[in-house]
Chains A and B, each alone.
Chain A
Amino acid sequence: MAGFIAQRLAKGVLVLAAIVVLNFFLIRLAPGDPALVMAGEAGATDEIFVTQLRTKFALDKPLPSQLAAYLGSIATLDLGYSVRQQMPVATLIGERLPATLLLTGCAFLISIVLGVLLGALAAGRAGTLADTAITGLALLFYATPLFWVSLMAIIVFSVRLEWLPSFGFETVGAGYSGFARAADIAQHLVLPALTLGLFFMAVYVRMTRASMLEVSRLDFVKTARAKGLTEGVIQRRHILRNALLPVVTLAGLQAGTLVGGAVLTETVFAWPGIGRLMYDALLQRDYNLLLGVFVVSSAMVLIFNLVTDVVYRMVDPRIEVAR
């Protein structure tokens, strides 16, 4: 197991390097010159000023040497300096990462727990009214665009009912600390986490339900019945456990999007996370920052893939982890 993890980590580093190189060229392909954008925002069209900017940020050097310099700094875990925000990229990402992870992590938990629970419930009562209601609800959340659900949630719960705050990470200027601050953040978290989580929950509901119905037709379920086990034990121990295998695969995929997958939700709820940082960096041609976000999210995807494989190996003894 340790050997497997070491091997995968070594491969992961290679993959990450390849991703960095690819991304580096990819964003250079996009039209637009950061020096011109900066000069434009400064209100200057002076050719000399633009040239100065280029020299200052090494944009005048040939691409290969820019790449070499970038790879060199990445290797020392230095993500570079954001020329727009006048701050180290690592600091910027470090400031935003907790908020994003809090949001996506909560959404992840909500979607898995609710999804599997409701899916199992629906499968156990397949064909009944409860089943129809659950699958109908899941379909609704799955089919409705995320931003629309977000906006409706704001209108209903913030504007009309005034139960929850409609945007932001915490109440600005309230000066809460400790427990009060946590409660304040939690209140702000409810709407974005729920809207983001409900979409994935719908996927888990449908997958768990379909997978359980499929497993319930397998021979070993009949064996379990032939032992005289109660229906509850059969559902939990024999059907659900086997049905969870594809759900683990999907959860691994979703976990990979934990860092960069909430752009829409973060925008609607003005959540100060990585997604919005990335979006702004894109508009401002902030190459270093954009690359930094890419590197961090790629690393996250690689790590979560590894975690998924390890989890898979733990839940399914038949798997010899793929090399």
Chain B
Amino acid sequence: MDPAPNPPGVAVSVRDLRLALPLGGDRPNAVDGVSFDLMAGEILCIVGESGSGKSMCAHALMGLLPKAVTVASGSIRLGDTDLLAQDAAGWRDTRGRRIAMVFQEPMTALNPLMRIGDQMAEMFEAHGLLTPPERRARAVALAREVGLPDPEGIVRSYPHQLSGGQRQRAMIAMALALEPAILVADEPTTALDVTTQAQILKLIRDLQRRRNMAVLFITHDFGVVTDIADRVLVLRQGRVVEEGPAAALLGAPREAYTQALLAAVPAMNPPARTPTEGPKTIEVAGLSKTYVTGGGWWRKPRTVAAARDVSFALRRGETLGLVGESGSGKSSVARLVMRLIEPDLGSVRLGDTELTRLNGEALRRARSRIQMVFQDPFASLNPRRTVGQIITDGPVAHGVSLSDARGRAVRLLGLVGLDMRAFERFPHEFSGGQRQRIGIARALALEPEVLVADEAVSALDVSVQAQVLALLEDLKVRFGLSMLFITHDLRVAAQICDRIAVMRRGEIVELKTAADLFANPEHPYTRDLLAAVPGRAREAA
């Protein structure tokens, strides 16, 4: 071990870090010989796709690696200590006081049974600092510093009473409590809506400047990198691909891999599209749905409008995007269109049939005409059925003979770019992108007229995302499908949609062609959404 302390300006220096995975994995090391310096007062972004080892690097800094992952070699030097050489007590002293961490999921990263203020106070308690009343006072001050509304009230609330953005602010406040020199942020904005994401990114930026902290920021999103990074490190399969100042690396990447990643990021300017003039496949008129929760003998129920007077038409061969933030009602509208939930008011016409009036057998038959591709490629396929069974089940249920269904399934597997041998295998043997292809083949097996894609590419890495989007586009043209494309990602919507409907609180606030929407957003909310999309600076340049 090199006993020399870090040179001035270097907050943390990672040297030749090698993290071993348990035997039998797809590779021996999660992180394989990674070295980098985190400078005081800078934000270093580690970027990579899933499985690149970026999150492992972050956790290694905190000594919070999963039990199965072991440090094979290397050093992490903070001041004059090698973090990897310290004992459990040493780690406890480091965590929170010298290095603090903010996690990805603000929904689950806070203890649901403890008040926010108590969880902040724990930070001081863990290191034996201050008296309980002082800790409470500091918690309020911290809540104020991260811009939480009503700091005195919010420290007494429980996590479930806060929004996602507020919880992440609380997490950041907690991390800053002991004024650590280093903040590790592991995808801190991935689970947030774009407008909230923009606010949190600004908050991290401001706090970092004010306190002159070093921030290690882990993300998969190049838009976020553009907005926040001083320096960038690109990881692939546990190895450093490229490292450099943000402007230089994003402007002129040297390595082919970085170039490919950047090229896969969907652009904000929609490609020119010819308007479709086909017949209307789906016509939705005055659709409303209100959820009522709670309410009892003496209590007023809480109502949430999932859809308010939603009307639109979807033409043959057209892709209509439904975009909005979480809770805007876009998924509810998709479910209403498929009649997976019953509307309170309004009608859905599918071609010449009134879908909202059908029942029993007629509804069951009509269902095959609209099919859905789901968000989560891991949860949406039955793990105990082979891919072949998953694809043929639908047609067989609708009366297609097994041999015909099989033939169709094999053809579809080819069309979505999978090997015929996939037929006999189980979903867990495939990657996320491949599973999404299986999901698409499953939907197409019923020869639908309409494909409803609910955040169908949101869980995928950018490069895979680009491939699946291209596949959807190709299949749409080939089968003359109409597509209802639900997404929170405006970049994705720009690339695949002919027209886009922006939703807020159950209402469509603006509906026009993609090109027009991005060029001339009229509604203030649409403008806010567009302004919040990360990484716009790179495109403007």
Do A and B actually bind? yes
> Among B7-15, B89-97, B196-204, which stretch is in contact with chain A?
B89-97
- Using a CB-CB cutoff of 8 Å, which residues 217-231 of chain A contact chain B? 218-220, 222-230
CA distance A323 to B298 in the complex (A): 10
13 residue pairs from A and B, CB less than 8 Å apart: A220-B110, A220-B111, A222-B109, A226-B62, A226-B64, A227-B96, A228-B91, A233-B126, A237-B114, A242-B111, A317-B113, A320-B294, A323-B297
The residue in A222, A230, A233 that gathers the most chain B C-beta atoms within 10 A of its C-beta is A222
> Would you call A223 and B296 a contact (CB within 8 A)?
no
Contacts from B to A (Cβ < 8 Å): 62, 64, 91-97, 100-101, 103, 105, 108-114, 122-123, 125-127, 158, 160, 171, 174, 294-299
Nearest chain B residue, comparing its CB with the CB of A3: B298
Q: Mark interface residues in A282-323 (1 if CB within 8 Å of B CB, else 0).
A: 000000000000000000000000000000000111101001
> Would you call B103 and A228 a contact (CB within 8 A)?
no
Q: Inside 8 A of B101's CB, which chain A residues have their CB?
A: 226
Chain B min CB distance to A315 (Å): 7
Q: List the count of A-B residue pairs having beta carbons below 8 Å apart.
A: 81
Q: Mark interface residues in A227-247 (1 if CB within 8 Å of B CB, else 0).
A: 111100100011001100000
A227-B96, A228-B95 as given contacts; A220 in contact with B108, CB under 8 Å: yes
Answer whether residue A7 sits at the interface, using C-beta atoms and an 8 A cutoff: yes
> Would you call B158 and A226 a contact (CB within 8 A)?
no
B126's partner among A228, A318, A323 (CB-CB below 8 A) is A228
A228-B95, A230-B92 as given contacts; A223 in contact with B113, CB under 8 Å: no
Q: Inside 8 A of B127's CB, which chain A residues have their CB?
A: 228
> Would you call B174 and A227 a contact (CB within 8 A)?
yes
CA distance A226 to B64 in the complex (A): 8
CA distance A141 to B310 in the complex (A): 60
Chain A min CB distance to B149 (Å): 20
- Taking A223-B174, A315-B113 as known contacts, 19 extra A-B pairs with beta carbons closer than 8 A to each other, sorted by chain A number, are A3-B298, A219-B108, A219-B109, A220-B110, A223-B111, A225-B62, A226-B62, A226-B96, A226-B100, A226-B101, A227-B96, A228-B95, A229-B92, A229-B125, A241-B113, A316-B112, A318-B112, A323-B296, A323-B299
- 9 A-B pairs with the lowest CB-CB distances in the bound complex, closest first: A323-B296, A228-B95, A228-B96, A219-B108, A317-B158, A228-B126, A227-B96, A220-B111, A228-B92
Secondary structure type dominating chain A contacts: helix
> Would you call B105 and A219 a contact (CB within 8 A)?
yes
> Would you call B93 and A228 a contact (CB within 8 A)?
yes
> Would you call B64 and A222 a contact (CB within 8 A)?
yes
Chain A min CB distance to B393 (Å): 32
CA distance A134 to B111 in the complex (A): 28
CA distance A227 to B127 in the complex (A): 9
> Would you call A229 and B158 a contact (CB within 8 A)?
no
Q: Inside 8 A of B122's CB, which chain A residues have their CB?
A: 224, 227, 229
Chain A min CB distance to B294 (Å): 6
Q: Inside 8 A of B298's CB, which chain A residues have their CB?
A: 3, 7
CA distance A230 to B92 in the complex (A): 7
B112's partner among A220, A229, A237, A323 (CB-CB below 8 A) is A220
Q: Inside 8 A of A316's CB, which chain B residues have their CB?
A: 112-113
> Would you call A238 and B112 a contact (CB within 8 A)?
no
Q: Inside 8 A of A320's CB, which chain B residues have their CB?
A: 294
Chain B min CB distance to A240 (Å): 11
Q: Inside 8 A of B125's CB, which chain A residues have their CB?
A: 229
> Would you call A220 and B109 a contact (CB within 8 A)?
yes
CA distance A3 to B109 in the complex (A): 34
Q: Inside 8 A of A233's CB, which chain B residues have their CB?
A: 126
CA distance A98 to B100 in the complex (A): 57
Chain A min CB distance to B57 (Å): 15
CA distance A237 to B125 in the complex (A): 13
> Would you call A229 and B126 a contact (CB within 8 A)?
yes
B95's partner among A7, A219, A227 (CB-CB below 8 A) is A227
A242's partner among B62, B112, B174, B297 (CB-CB below 8 A) is B112
A222-B103, A225-B64 as given contacts; A317 in contact with B160, CB under 8 Å: yes
Q: Inside 8 A of A3's CB, which chain B residues have their CB?
A: 298
The residue in A3, A233, A317 that gathers the most chain B C-beta atoms within 10 A of its C-beta is A317
A7-B297, A323-B296 as given contacts; A223 in contact with B95, CB under 8 Å: no
CA distance A310 to B100 in the complex (A): 38
> Would you call A223 and B96 a contact (CB within 8 A)?
no
> Would you call A219 and B160 a contact (CB within 8 A)?
no
Q: Inside 8 A of A226's CB, which chain B residues have their CB?
A: 62, 64, 95-96, 100-101, 103
The residue in B94, B109, B123, B174 that gathers the most chain A C-beta atoms within 10 A of its C-beta is B109
Q: Inside 8 A of B296's CB, which chain A residues have their CB?
A: 7, 323
The residue in B64, B97, B113, B114 that gathers the most chain A C-beta atoms within 10 A of its C-beta is B113
CA distance A243 to B105 in the complex (A): 20
CA distance A3 to B91 in the complex (A): 50
Chain B min CB distance to A297 (Å): 27
CA distance A318 to B91 in the complex (A): 33
CA distance A178 to B125 in the complex (A): 49
- Using a CB-CB cutoff of 8 Å, which residues 1-19 of chain A contact chain B? 3, 7
Q: Inside 8 A of B96's CB, which chain A residues have their CB?
A: 226-228
CA distance A224 to B91 in the complex (A): 13
CA distance A241 to B119 in the complex (A): 14
